[in-house]
Every structure is written in C-alpha cells, then in structure tokens.
Amino acid sequence: MPTRLQCRKSRFALTAVLLCSALAPVHAATKQIGKDLYAYVSENDASANSTFLVGETGILVVDTGLNATAGAKLLSAIRLVSNLPVKYVVNTHYHPDHQEGNSVVGAGAIVISTDYTRERTVALMKAPGMEGFHFRPADLTFQHRIRLYLDTYPVEIYFPGKAHTSGDALVYFPEQHAIAMGDLSLNNSCPAMDDGSAENWILALDQVLDLPIEKVVPGHFDVGTRSDLQRFRDYLNDLYGQVSALKKKGETVEQVRRDVHMEKYSDFRQYSKYEATFSDNAATIYGQLESR
C-alpha cells in the first residue's frame, strides 16, 4: 500500500504529465481545427496547405506540399501530434504544389484522387521538363464521391463538378464541421483559374455553404471561417455576373478586362497586381462563356 507521501508524489507526477501533454509542442504552422483534426498552413505560399485527421490506428492527410522538402516539414509537424502511420493521402487536384510530397508524407499510404487528377498527374509525369519532379499518382480513384472511415471518423471526399480544375476533390469532415477546399477557396485572394468552370465553382461553393461548417482550410494562406468562404464566393459571383453582362452587351475581352469594377475587393492580397489577377480572372471567365 503506498504511503501518503508516495501518493502525493504520484499525484504530482500525474499532474506534471497532464500539464506536459497539455503543453506538448505543436508546430507553429499547425492549428487544431476540430477533434483530432489539424490544419497545416504552409510557411511557403508557393506550397499548398495540408489537413490531417488522426484516428485510433492511423492518419489521413489531405495534400502534401510542393516537393520532398515541404513534405518532410509537413511530416515532422504531423509527428509532433502523432506517431501513427499515415494510412491515406488525398490529393485535391493535380497541381504539383499539392502532391509532390506524397512519397515522403505517405510512403506506405493509399493515395486517393479523382480519376481526372490521376490522369493529369500521369500525363505530367511524361511531359518534357518534368524530370526533376517526383509524382506519386493515386492508387485509388473515384468519379463522384467516396465515404471513407478513418476508424470511427467519417470523411466525405467528393467531386463538386468543374471549378478550379476539371477534377478537384473536396474533403469534408462532418464530425469536425470542417472542410479542406484545395484551391477552391483562398481567403482575401484571387484564385488561379485552370481548365475549370467559374459558373459551377460558384454552385460548388454554395453547396459547401449549405453544410454546417465552421472551419475552412484553403489551398494557400491562413485557415478561414464560413464568412471568409462567403466573401470569396461573392467575389467570384460578382466577377462572373459582371463579365456575363458586359459580354452580353457585345464587349470584347479587352473591353471587359477594363470595364469590370472590383473595388469592393481592394483588400484582396493581389489587388496591387490587378491586371495579372483580377483582369486575368475576368478574361478566363470570358473564355469559358465563349466556349459554351
């Protein structure tokens, strides 16, 4: 039977352990955004953000960064939270800044993407000039939707239709009221527009806003809220509406680039490079409307 002193000592030890675990170091780039769910905001804006969910037996990671170095930084941030194996890697789309860390982060993981993302990744691997890149395309692909269970946590991975590219995946964590958006959202920022559809992108954002989400992990820059996502949706919707109306009036793409008014979004980080961002987005939307 322990003495009173031993009891006091072990109680002290237990308190110390609890305190230590409460103060366990989490990487500065890591933010807990729900139960067992973390956002990793890349310090390098050229490398994508990641999201990771820690189950009882393994970890699911969404997007893995620009290269092996970015992947290694992400993995060491994950290791400050858990030593469990990375079981699944989900790539939101084919752009290298979201998937070049796959081999480092999830050496033994099942990599998941849309069919389109895998096709584009394999094509990139064969493209001239891509020799220095280290792609690891998906092992498991889907067309519309997958519901995956990481132990007890459900994870909804779905294609919302063309948006940033023609094959983006969104990753919804219903129990944590959070979503990883890939490049379908950026806070206070103009998006890059690849071979997607601004019209459907707006619908996709409306569908996300119908979900009971509180935290939004964008493809780059800081974690956002529902209202950040709403504002990004309003930017796209305003731009799309203006370009459509001006085109209907018979304006050329050059006239539309000049005539859209987006001063309402002057706080966006690219506003000082208006021509290369806001105007380019307008021209891309014009092209999408023309090719319909």
Distance of closest approach, residue 227 Cβ to Zn ion, in angstroms: 23
User: Which listed range, 94-102, 208-216, 242-250, 265-273, lies at the site for Zn ion (CB under 5 A)?
Assistant: 94-102
User: Which listed range, 51-59, 83-91, 118-126, 176-184, lies at the site for Zn ion (CB under 5 A)?
Assistant: 176-184
3-state SS string over the chain?
CCCHHHHHHHHHHHHHHHHHHHCCCCCCCEEEEECCEEEECCCCCCCCCEEEEECCCCEEEECCCCCHHHHHHHHHHHHCCCCCCEEEEECCCCCHHHHCCHHHHCCCCEEEEEHHHHHHHHHHHHCCCCCCCCCCCCCEEECCEEEEEECCEEEEEECCCCCCCCCCCEEEEHHHCEEECHHHCCCCCCCCCCCCCHHHHHHHHHHHHCCCCCEEECCCCCCEEHHHHHHHHHHHHHHHHHHHHHHHCCCCHHHHHHHCCCHHHCCCCCHHHCHHHHHHHHHHHHHHHHCC
Distance of closest approach, residue 182 Cβ to Zn ion, in angstroms: 7
User: Which listed range, 21-29, 132-140, 179-187, 267-275, lies at the site for Zn ion (CB under 5 A)?
Assistant: 179-187
**Which of 63, 183, 199, 228 is close enough to bind Zn ion by CB under 5 A?**
183
95 lies in the site for Zn ion, by CB under 5 A: yes
73 lies in the site for Zn ion, by CB under 5 A: no
36 lies in the site for Zn ion, by CB under 5 A: no
User: Which listed range, 39-47, 90-98, 120-128, 249-257, lies at the site for Zn ion (CB under 5 A)?
Assistant: 90-98
Footprint of Zn ion on this chain (CB under 5 A)? Answer: 95, 183
